[in-house]
Amino acid sequence: MPCEVNTRFVILYGSQKGQAQSIAEGIAVEAEDHGLVAELSCLNQSEKYNLEKEKAPVVFIVSTTGDGEPPDNALQFVKGIKKKTLSTDHYKHLCYALLALGDTNYANFCNCGKTIERRLQALGAKQFYVTGYADDGVGLEVVVDPWLEGLWKAIKGALSKMASDKVDPLKGPVGDSPKQDPDSLLPDVELNLLSLNDHQNYTHKDGGAPHVPLAASLTCSLPPLSQSSLNVPALPPPYLHVSLQDVDSREQTVGHLNNENVHEVPIERAIQLTTGDLVKTSLLLELDTSAYPTMTYLPGDSFDVFCPNRATEVEDMLCRLGLQDKKHHQVHVSLNKDTKKKGAQVPSYIPPSISLLYLLTWCLEIRTVPKKAFLRALVEHTGDTVQRRRLQELCSKQGATEYNQYVRDPGLSILEVLTAFPSCSPPLCLLIEHLPKLQPRPYSAASSCLKHPGKLHFVFNVVEFSACSGRPVGRRGLCTGWLFDLINPGKPKCSGSHALPKIHVSLRPKCSFRLPSDLSVPFVMVGPGTGVAPFIGFLQQREKERQDNPEAVFGETWLFFGCRYRDRDYLFREELEGFVTSGVLDHLKVSFSRDELEMEGNEVTTSVARPRYVQHNLLLHRQQITEILLKKNGCLYVCGDAKNMAKDVNDTLIEIIKTQLQVDQLEAMKTLAGLREEKRYLQDIWG
């Protein structure tokens, strides 16, 4: 007797910046094409799902944020499943699949997904489809696309098995048979799980230098792609209705910045820390926080700066949409009653009764790199057939390499894409549906409240994006460019007649990147470039602690700093050397990557073996580093670039442990992982 197969399954997502949510929503939409019914919920919407009683297959789509932390909307779920009071058969009835999003440029790759899977299995849940680990460092689609292709067969297989288990009384539910091989539930699907080292082979199969046709560009392709049949993603269903009302909204307040945790503070001082050419422009800003006595922080803490989109780009976008004469009209956003989008809702970051100008200035990230789903939606609003075809190529499976090369890797914004495709005229609702929230930019505090009460210092490099195909003229980073223009370095500041510029800031949640509570614990700091910022706060704090506790025993302190040139970008040189003189900093080790000359005493000499980068100096002092970390229970702090420096430092630490302890690679990695778990190897890194 044939069994009746259920068509229902559940999708749960945890997303910080919208990528996991977008993938989950795409699955929910596509489910109908496969004859399935998807129930979509965010992990924090516990009233909408009940895993304790769920019998249908469950698909998890989760990202990782910060130092391997769950997204904000998955935090409570993760805490819940980590409770030690749960029994080992708590989820024995549950079958699941999981797609984890992460970035190998950061520590704890896909840690949230791995944590959820580890706990699900420990609580008896069974996997019905192989887990995907997508790496944003090389392109999420490298793993996401094949994972999604195989998902539908896996879901149908799991549903069929559940139905047959119900019909056959001799067979128990999924996972009840002690002889059952867990892998028997997994479909035969091949995932392209690439590491960073594999990526070059994925892009260039011949293993040689990339072959870029002279005529190929963002807007033009060559055979074979231009002659290929294309697998284009499904069109995302529209779900918002947007109208503009002729009501002047010029006098409105900054809605989402009127938050008790967001403070408007003046910039009291701005100092350029670098000089000359061939180096990045580094600036130190001092904020006056004295008007907010509760706005206290500790060295190692970070805070958010709320910046607007660039005014010229907002005007360009208004012109591109043909709405420049309506920029002061009120925007009304509501759900499209006929939408087929599962779980559709009006974005929570769009306040009511705002002007179109405010929407594009403060709410939407118009600098964001458009995802393939956005490009697919743009196809429907492109008149020129050649341009339509090119957009289809860029969002297709066959055009993945060119999407990375011409859109993702150079970081093209939606405005730059629209400029390159002039016949594309999307409606405003499409932008609101696809553009994410304009996120504040995080910065590390470069000061201590003990030394600078009522002040908050931070340091940044002015980010520069070079010209490329699709970007005829280079541009500055959004927040760093805004701050640079705001303070106008080099121009004399007039006190009295002109008010100091103000910015909106908010302290970020407390972190673990803190000085040891025990003053006698030694610690090592590694911070090249602006990565030295939190360590200035560390040392200022330690200086005051030494003054207040003259009889206390203090652990030794090391700082490994690096820059290009001794006389151009040696940040905080005088202050650091002052810390050494006063005994606050025991060892200052500086490396210069571009200087050809070294100072020895009063003589200038050429040093062939000089350390060029911080990891080289770490190797030179490997014995002391090992003693501090493994014999004196000291701490190591790393701050700075995630893509290169942090990886190189991590590899160097593994090498140091291998050679000093005479152990193999795996044992050295375990030792370093142990330091992480003990919160004695801490990172504050960024991409």
pLDDT in tens, 268-305: 999 999 998 888 999 999 999 999 998 999 999 999 99
Q: What is the DSSP string of 334-360?
A: EE-TT---TT----TTS-SSEEHHHII
Per-residue pLDDT reduced to its tens digit, 545-559: 999 999 999 999 999
Query: Which uninterrupted H or E stretch holds 564?
Result: none
What number is the average pLDDT over the span 403-416?
94
436 has which bridge partners?
Answer: none
Structure tokens at 159: 């549903």
**Rounded Cα–Cα distance for residues 524 and 297 (Å):** 22
Q: What is the DSSP string of 232-293?
A: PPPPPPP-EEEEEE----TT---GGG--TT-EEEEEEEEEE---SSSS--EEEEEEE-TT-T
**Rounded Cα–Cα distance for residues 595 and 604 (Å):** 12
State residue 236's pLDDT score. 86
What number is the average pLDDT over the span 610-625?
94
State residue 65's pLDDT score. 87
Structure tokens at 273: 């820390």
Between CA 139 and CA 149, with CA 143 as vertex, the angle to 5 degrees is 130
Average pLDDT, the chain: 87
- The answer, yes or no, to whether residue 227 has pLDDT greater than 50, is yes
**Rounded Cα–Cα distance for residues 8 and 548 (Å):** 66
Please give the single-letter amino acid code of residue 425: S
Rounded to two decimals, the pTM is: 0.81
State residue 573's pLDDT score. 97
Q: Are 252 and 330 in contact (CB under 8 A)?
A: no
Structure tokens at 655: 């090498």
Q: Are 147 and 132 in contact (CB under 8 A)?
A: yes
Please give the single-letter amino acid code of residue 255: G
**Rounded Cα–Cα distance for residues 113 and 64 (Å):** 7
**Rounded Cα–Cα distance for residues 365 and 439 (Å):** 7
Of 365, 366, 462, 372, the closest CA to residue 408 belongs to 372
Q: Could you say which DSSP state residue 226 is in?
A: G
* More confident site: 575 or 33: 575
Per-residue pLDDT reduced to its tens digit, 366-383: 999 999 999 999 999 999
Q: Are 378 and 426 in contact (CB under 8 A)?
A: yes
- The answer, yes or no, to whether residue 53 has pLDDT greater than 60, is yes
**Rounded Cα–Cα distance for residues 395 and 613 (Å):** 40
- Domains along the chain with CATH numbers: 7-163 (3.40.50.360), 523-596+608-685 (3.40.50.80)
Buried b / exposed e over 54-72, threshold 16 CB at 10 Å, is bebbbbbbbbbbbbbbbbe
**Rounded Cα–Cα distance for residues 585 and 583 (Å):** 5
What number is the average pLDDT over the span 500-519?
91
* More confident site: 6 or 59: 59
Of 66-80, 517-531, 646-660, minimum mean pLDDT range: 66-80
242 has which bridge partners?
Answer: 333
Output the CA torsion sign for 637, 642, 644, 650.
positive
Of 36-50, 221-235, 462-476, 601-615, minimum mean pLDDT range: 601-615
**Rounded Cα–Cα distance for residues 139 and 397 (Å):** 13
Calculate what percentage of the chain has a pLDDT beyond 70.
87
Per-residue pLDDT reduced to its tens digit, 142-183: 899 899 999 999 999 999 998 887 655 444 444 333 333 434
**Rounded Cα–Cα distance for residues 245 and 597 (Å):** 66
Of 555, 401, 415, the closest CA to residue 478 belongs to 415
Of 4-13, 155-164, 639-648, 652-661, minimum mean pLDDT range: 4-13
**Rounded Cα–Cα distance for residues 569 and 283 (Å):** 11
State residue 162's pLDDT score. 87
State residue 168's pLDDT score. 53
Q: Find where tokens 């067969």 sit.
A: 153
Q: Look at residue 74 and give its three-state secondary structure.
A: helix
Of 420, 413, 415, the closest CA to residue 386 belongs to 420
Structure tokens at 681: 């190897």
State residue 207's pLDDT score. 42
Please give the single-letter amino acid code of residue 517: S
Calculate what percentage of the chain has a pLDDT beyond 90.
73
- The answer, yes or no, to whether residue 328 has pLDDT greater than 60, is yes
Q: Are 11 and 41 in contact (CB under 8 A)?
A: yes
State residue 383's pLDDT score. 97
- Whether the upstream peptide bond of residue 238 has omega within 30° of 0, thus cis, is no
Of 450, 457, 679, the closest CA to residue 584 belongs to 450
In this structure, how many other beta carbons lie within 10 angstroms of the beta carbon of residue 570? 22
